[in-house]
Amino acid sequence: MREDSAKNKTKIGRVFLVGAGCGRADLITLRGLNLLKDCDAVVYDDLIDRELLMAVPGTAECFYMGKRQGKHGASQEEICEALIRLAREGKRVVRLKGGDPYVFGRGGEEMMALLAAGIPCEEVPGVSSAIAIPAEAGIPVTHRGLSQSLHIITGHTALGKEGLPEDLERLAGLNGTLVFLMGLSRLERLAERLMAGGKSPDTPAAVLSGGCAPCRQEVRGTLGNIAEKAKKAGVLPPAVIVIGQTASLALKGGGMRPLDGIRAGITGTPAITGKLRSLLEGLGAQVHTVMELQAVPLPLPESMEALWDGTPRFLVFTSANGAEIFFEFLRERKADLRRFAACRFAVIGPSTGEALKRHGIVPDLCPEIHTSRGLALALAEAVRHGKKKAAGGFPGERNPAGGGPGEKNRAGSMPEDIALLRSEQGARILPQILQENGLSVRDVPLYRLERGRTAEELPALDWLLFSSAGGVEQFFARYGALPEGARCLCIGEVTAKRLADFVPEPPLTARTPSAQAMAEALCREVMGGSYK
């Protein structure tokens, strides 16, 4: 043990200067994302999509070292010292920087410090805000017939007079596109000096904030009036200034996606958040994973094995998580699925049904209404009329994939014993309705939902989506309150009812409990009911 400890102290790690891109998390390069997924520590700045931190392993250390205009933050020396220290501890370190590390990101200074300290290091390029922010506004930085060159200039330097580049007047004679970063506070003087250098006051100009900026704004004008317009609009840093003929262009698609500009926070297990993210981003939303939930298996009682004693019964699943944990339990015990020959399988909805199918089981019953109440009523109806209708399939059942009725009752009679295999936080209404209908119910908690990784701080959101009542509880235990101005969307009535214990305003509720229905509900609300 002592020898291993001594080796670790002398082991040198590696540092990767990774450009996070400008804007949404998926603008990072594939190489950068893979490095994040395999790092031991990450040191990050302000202007990144915090969603990227969800890709970092749970065992990795995260260090925020941002510094923005007007706000105290870590000095460049402190950042370099931290990178060197972490590498000397033997860690694989990702230095995550907004945009591209070498485009006014001081990446060169960090690389020089690492090389001087003998630390193995590498730079991974990223999409620069100098290109991405104009593109987001429909401005190409070069365009045939308008601009054959691009000049990226800092609008904040300690070397020039007034904090502006010394050769600003000479830049006025260039015919290409001028893109200034970090120059918003000096925009008026910047424009004056360019005009003094011979740049026409009628030259198209734009001031743009986007990407990961807290406030997205777009101001168009000319070199002669852009400073006044930006001031009147109250544009906040960080912003990109574009001057040149291409600043008059707005090359945007004609058909906006229904959720363009909407900031949506999602909560839930990776299974549901993965679906929500794919759907919402495809519709144009900017998606933030606010909180992940983990399905943690519970110790199962010995009586669990009684479920395959040959007694006809319904095995009921209310989530894909429950199905996966149940079959893992069977694998661990090397249980023979033929022991369930007398059993029927019921699911709350198609997604849960698909989870069963992956294990070779076609559900016998799936209600038309995919809720706990709908499932309970379908089960009660199936048992009540099972014997006389066995020849035609179970009442209320349907193939989750959309086919015809399920298979006929193999035993010629309907089981009246029902085992609920689900979360310990499952809705009470399910066993309650079954018991009210005289059925024998065994509630077997397979797992509990526990809070996994969460956002360090809540971003500005327009909508917050909850996919379970347990998720509502965990969210308020973690954050205490909703983000200011955010509205809520719930996957179903049970989740909405739990949310009512924390906030008075009724949430938007999906018509059926699924990621697809949640996305559709949000589109209908945003578009005033016109979305189909």
The two structure tokens encoding residue 496:
């909405």
Helices 107-116 and 76-88 cross at an angle (nearest 10°) of 40
What sign has the CA pseudo-torsion 514, 519, 522, 528?
A: negative
The amino acid that residue 144 corresponds to is R
Residue among 258, 313, 304, 266 at smallest CA distance from 283: 258
Q: In the 3-class helix/strand/coil scheme, how is 208-251 assigned residue by residue?
A: EECCCCCCCEEEEEECCCHHHHHHHHCCCCCCEEEECHHHHCCC
Q: Walk across the sheet containing 150-154 and list its strands.
A: 150-154, 177-181, 240-243, 204-209, 217-222
Give me the residue label for tokens 């079954």: 434
Active site residue 182: yes
Contact status, residue 328 vs residue 303, Cβ threshold 8 Å: no
Q: In the 3-class helix/strand/coil scheme, how is 310-353 assigned residue by residue?
A: CCCEEEEECCHHHHHHHHHHHHHCCCCHHHHCCCEEEECCHHHH
Q: What is d(CA 459, CA 22) in angstroms, rounded to the nearest whole number?
A: 17
The amino acid that residue 68 corresponds to is R
Q: In the 3-class helix/strand/coil scheme, how is 272-315 assigned residue by residue?
A: HHHHHHHHHHHCCCEEEEEEEEEEEECCCCHHHHHHHCCCCEEE
The two structure tokens encoding residue 306:
């009684």
**Annotated catalytic residue: which of 45, 100, 364, 462?**
45
Q: What is d(CA 324, CA 173) in angstroms, rounded to the nearest whole number?
A: 67
Q: Walk across the sheet containing 313-317 and list its strands.
A: 344-347, 313-317, 417-423, 440-454, 286-297, 263-268, 463-466, 487-490, 508-509
**Annotated catalytic residue: which of 54, 111, 182, 414?**
182
Active site residue 45: yes
Q: What is d(CA 94, CA 60) in angstroms, rounded to the nearest whole number?
A: 10
Contact status, residue 281 vs residue 523, Cβ threshold 8 Å: no
Q: What are phi and psi of 203, to 5 degrees?
A: -60, 130
Active site residue 111: no
Q: What are phi and psi of 507, to 5 degrees?
A: -85, 165
Could you tell me the CA-to-CA distances from 256 to 284, 316, 529 in Å, in that order?
8, 43, 16
Count the alpha carbons within 13 Å of 41 in the hemisphere toward its beta carbon.
20
**Annotated catalytic residue: which of 38, 46, 65, 67?**
67
Helices 350-357 and 320-332 cross at an angle (nearest 10°) of 20
Could you tell me the CA-to-CA distances from 151 to 178, 181, 194, 221, 243 in Å, in that order?
5, 11, 14, 20, 10
- Residues that are catalytic: 45, 67, 182
